[in-house]
Amino acid sequence: MLFRFCLYGFLKNQRYFDPFLMLVFLDRGFSFFVIGLLLACRDLTVNMLEIPSGALADSFGRRGAMLTSLVAYIVSFLVLGASTSVALYFVGMILYGVGDTFRTGTHKAMIFEWLRLQGRSDERTSIYGLTRSWSQIGSALSGIIAAIFVLVSGSYAYVFFAAVIPYVFNLINLASYPKALDGEHEKAQTISESMRRLKNSLFKAITNRPLRRILLEAMSWEGFFNAIKDYLQPVLQSVAVVGLATFFGRDPTAPSHASIDSLFNPAQKTALLIGPIYAILFLLSAWASRKSHRLVARYGGETAAARILWRANLVVFCALAVAAWFQFNVVLVVGFVLLYMLKNFWRPILISRIDSRSEPHEGATILSIESQAQRSATLVLAPAIGWTIDMVHANQFGGPLWPIGVCGAIIAVAMLVSAPTAP
């Protein structure tokens, strides 16, 4: 099963549009505020459906929920690939949100159920880190494949359609998961009973102080990261369009057709840089996921390791704020790569902390609550960050992306000041 868990993550991250999603929106003439609304629309869909979907997965079958998720993703990719208007993009993002709704929390709960059945629950952080590392390796390969698609076609259009193929294979993989991973607890017989269980899980998440603290950290770290992570793409685009021409531009003695500007259009030049950068980024993220359990061992506990990561996050965001103000784009790229790495040290530790404070029968529900908490933050932050960047850019008040660094630093300080002292 461990191989199949890793295969699921590897195939799930064959989203060839991910390294170019914001660039697709910018290419369509959307402002950063409209892009923020598109991301918020996806997260609003998840927020409306996710906790009930987690409860239904616990009550009626996690495998069925996962298959529903993959079908919704496939349809969303087709809609996004064929979209010619902002309205269709909103439809595609809603369908994407439905896919996220039935996936988040559910597959993790299946992994933890398998660990319990195997008597290996104490390996939560290392096993989840391993499976997550294969997701990141999948993303690394996806970045290279996506770049090849854009280089060959000269357009971002086909990356959505290409993502359908690995998702079909993942449908086959998930359909043959053993029934035992649905959980051995008593299944709810009605929707009302499932909602009653949901209410109980929500009450526990709110009243259990350690669990409530973890959910607040998830909102602060993951919610903000999801709102700002794709801003790496326009930074890379700027570096690619200017930098590649500088390093590989026409030699004065060479014929004019040798210029990189005549060989590649802006999308292709961006792909030349985005493909390798995203591959390196996700390979480093895979390494971070596999090593996250060592932070726990080194610092004497998951909470102590989380504090160390918050400190590192603060340093990176402060550096991003300065680099963004002065538009040191190379430093910005390095900063975003470090944020991805820190997130992948963080995520296995966070999930293990949540699972250790949850009952086995409510695993998917609690993890769905966690996912909704972070998406609630993204729902608010994505349009706000987009609007702020539009205003900064319009008024030429420093480089446009410095609000990302400032907001991230404020959040990190707030979490460190309020951090518990127990390991």
Q: In 178-231, which residue ranges form alpha helices assigned H by DSSP?
A: 191-207, 209-218, 224-228
State residue 195's pLDDT score: 61
Among the listed residues 259, 240, 257, the one whose alpha carbon sits nearest the alpha carbon of residue 249: 259
How sure is the predictor about 247, in pLDDT bands with cuts at 50, 70 and 90? Answer: very low
Token code pair at residue 54: 């987690």
Token code pair at residue 171: 């449908």
Q: How many CB atoms lie within 10 A of CB 254?
A: 10
Distances (CA, A) of 13 to 95, 137, 142, 340, 374: 17, 9, 7, 15, 20
pLDDT tens digits along 318-357: 999 999 999 898 899 999 999 989 998 888 888 888 877 7
Q: Specify the pTM.
A: 0.73
Token code pair at residue 91: 């439809």
* Cα 347 from chain centre: 10
Determine contact, residues 11/165, Cβ cutoff 8 Å: no
Distances (CA, A) of 336 to 15, 323, 339, 421: 19, 11, 5, 29
How sure is the predictor about 360, in pLDDT bands with cuts at 50, 70 and 90? Answer: low
pLDDT tens digits along 156-199: 778 899 999 999 999 999 888 888 887 654 444 455 655 666 66
CA dihedral 329, 332, 334, 339 (to 10 degrees): -160
Q: Assess whether pLDDT exceeds 80 at residue 50.
A: no
Among the listed residues 65, 60, 63, 96, the one whose alpha carbon sits nearest the alpha carbon of residue 79: 96
Mutual angle of helices 164-175 and 2-12, in 10-degree steps? 160
How sure is the predictor about 56, in pLDDT bands with cuts at 50, 70 and 90? Answer: low
Phi-psi label, residue 255: left if phi above 0, alpha if psi -120 to 50, beta otherwise: beta
* Cα 47 from chain centre: 16
In the chain, what are the domains?
2-417 (1.20.1250.20)
Determine contact, residues 269/147, Cβ cutoff 8 Å: no
